[in-house]
Amino acid sequence: MAKKTFHSISPVRRSILLVTTIALIVISIFLYVTRPTDVDRINETYLDTIQDTSILKNNIKTHFNQNYQVKTYTMYGESLKLYHDTALNKTDALMGANLVLVNVETQEEINYTFGSGADEGIKTNQLDPGLYEVYVYDHFEKKRVYFNKKVHMEPFETVRRKHRVKHISMDADTDYLKDQDIHLKKNYAFISVTENIPKADTVDVMIDPCGDIYDTENNQVADGLTAGNLTEQAEAYDFATKVKAELEKYGLNVQLTRKKEGTPSYSGRSGRVAKGYEHKAKIFLSVGFSQYDTTEKPFMMVSPHTSGVLADNISYIMQKNGIKMDDTQSSARQLHEDGVLFDGYNDENDKYEVWPQLRESGGKATYAGRTTSSKENQRYKDSPGMYGVYFQFLNGDDTSSIQYYQKNKTKIAKALAKGVAYYLDVKKEGSN
């Protein structure tokens, strides 16, 4: 039997077939154009993406006999840390404890051990998309973590990696799953992780060129340090632009806290750290001249409320790339690498740090907005903190230090950027 061709079909059937084909094409185009995009899903939590809610009912218990209460939390850099007490002190009961995240759908367990620093918590960038329950081993007993009050953390965006970010949110509320007809007995903690494109205005690294700082207490501008013919105001800005250009090669969104002739302070809505908070930066990198006349080579200061691992990584990479770091060591804690110091405290409470670029950039973890001189930053006292590093690249009172910097300026900037990228585990765009 001969096969029918399109032309052998009757005109009526041919018209019907043609109309049906066109309709299917139009519908397909419509479905493709109106499909949910990354932009549409940018504010979704993982809970919004679960199609089969029976998984939640089958895997989530509403009541536990063994419970562990936490009272507060901090976000610092990309580290989420929970605290048994509200004091955020170094002897918190959760320090050294084994924290366990359980993926609700897969039941996979991820273990963390909290250290004393704000950066020694849950490494949120390492979490796969999913909804996680939070447990802790307390005296070898696995206990479900809950908050003493309702918690709804504003979704947090991790650093850009290959043009993608993780969106992290944490909720602790008896009504958190009420739409799924699950009624919790306590404010049990859940962590939601989704992966998406970054929001355009979020910043990964905020670089702060020192010099020409407006002093709100004295109502005047502090010109900054000098080194022969070099001024901190001009040199720090030029050095910052070099580091910025290098970091952008890794696909990071980088901004500066001031313009070339700008003089913002570290306090207030238009201040340097405010720019970082408003753009939800993860690292606050301050660069300037050395404040200590005994140093010869570049070094970094970090918050004593951290472990200093970011600066330690930077120093390691800089030395691997031929940069000599100052051999001074922290009097508070010996680190693996040269050129890393912990900031001191400006009061007897071991709470408020001396340098505002470290104290005021760390949000809740470093008590931002709490000192007399920083009351204008109180709006950020409970905000996610930026991981602060104060990089001091030359000593204006030491001729050899000035000469070393001038000879190696570009090399130092590149190595500093490599160190930050190494810590963040990001690769240059186009590399494998």
Segment of 8-12, 26-30, 128-132 carrying the highest mean pLDDT: 128-132
Predicted confidence (pLDDT) per residue in 311-329, tens digit? 999 999 999 999 999 986 5
Which residue's entry shows tokens 């090399």?
411
Helix, strand, coil percentages (3-state) for the chain, rounded to 5, are 30, 25, 45
φ, ψ of residue 327 to 5 degrees: the values are: -85, 10
Q: Is the pLDDT reported for residue 212 higher than 90?
A: no
Q: Is the pLDDT reported for residue 36 higher than 60?
A: no
The secondary element (H helix, E strand) that includes residue 278 is: helix 272-278
Q: Is the pLDDT reported for residue 331 higher than 60?
A: no
Q: Which of 161, 76, 128, 242 is nearest to 421 (CA)?
A: 161
The pLDDT of residue 15 is 73
Cα 415 from chain centre:
21
φ, ψ of residue 192 to 5 degrees: the values are: -105, 135
Q: Which of 210, 271, 279, 205 is nearest to 243 (CA)?
A: 205
User: Is 336 or 13 the better-scoring residue by pLDDT?
Assistant: 13
φ, ψ of residue 320 to 5 degrees: the values are: -65, -25
**Distant-in-sequence, close-in-space partners of 317: CB < 8 Å, separation ≥ 6:** 415, 418, 419, 422
Other beta carbons less than 10 A from residue 42's beta carbon: 16
Instruction: Give every strand in the sheet of 299-302, ordered side by side.
Output: 254-256, 205-209, 283-288, 387-392, 299-302, 340-342
What length does the chain have?
432
Predicted confidence (pLDDT) per residue in 334-384, tens digit? 556 889 999 988 775 678 889 999 999 999 999 999 988 888 999 999 999
Mean pLDDT of all residues in 192-215:
90
Predicted confidence (pLDDT) per residue in 73-121, tens digit? 999 999 999 999 998 877 898 998 899 999 999 999 999 999 989 999 9
Is the CA virtual torsion 25, 27, 28, 34 positive or negative?
Answer: positive
Mean pLDDT of all residues in 27-48:
62
Share above pLDDT 70 across residues of the chain, in percent, rounded to a whole number: 87
The pLDDT of residue 210 is 93
Mean pLDDT of all residues in 153-166:
94
Domains and CATH numbers, the chain: 46-196 (no CATH), 205-424 (3.40.630.40)
Other beta carbons less than 10 A from residue 323's beta carbon: 23
Q: Is the pLDDT reported for residue 32 higher than 90?
A: no
Which residue's entry shows tokens 């049990």?
188
Spatial distance between the Cα atoms of 198 and 168, rounded to a whole number of angstroms: 12
Spatial distance between the Cα atoms of 289 and 78, rounded to a whole number of angstroms: 28
- Using an 8 Å Cβ cutoff, are 146 and 172 in contact? yes
Which residue's entry shows tokens 């367990």?
109
Q: Is the pLDDT reported for residue 5 higher than 80?
A: no
Cα 183 from chain centre:
32
Alpha-carbon Rg for the chain, nearest whole angstrom, is 26
Spatial distance between the Cα atoms of 227 and 216, rounded to a whole number of angstroms: 25
**DSSP per residue, 290-347:** -S-TT--S-EEEE-TTS--HHHHHHHHHHHHTTPPPP--B-SS---SSSSEEE--BSS
Q: Which of 130, 138, 73 is nearest to 100 (CA)?
A: 138
**Across all residues in the chain, what is the average pLDDT?**
88
The DSSP secondary-structure symbol of 421 reads H
Q: Is the pLDDT reported for residue 52 higher than 70?
A: yes
The pLDDT of residue 42 is 60
φ, ψ of residue 95 to 5 degrees: the values are: -65, 125
Mean pLDDT of all residues in 59-63:
95
Predicted confidence (pLDDT) per residue in 162-172, tens digit? 999 999 999 99
Whole-angstrom CA distances from 373 to 144, 268, 330, 384 are: 41, 11, 26, 21
Predicted confidence (pLDDT) per residue in 263-314, tens digit? 788 999 989 999 999 999 999 999 999 988 889 999 999 999 999 999 999 9
Spatial distance between the Cα atoms of 89 and 118, rounded to a whole number of angstroms: 10
How many helices (H) does the chain have, and how many strands (E)? 8, 22
* Entry pTM: 0.88
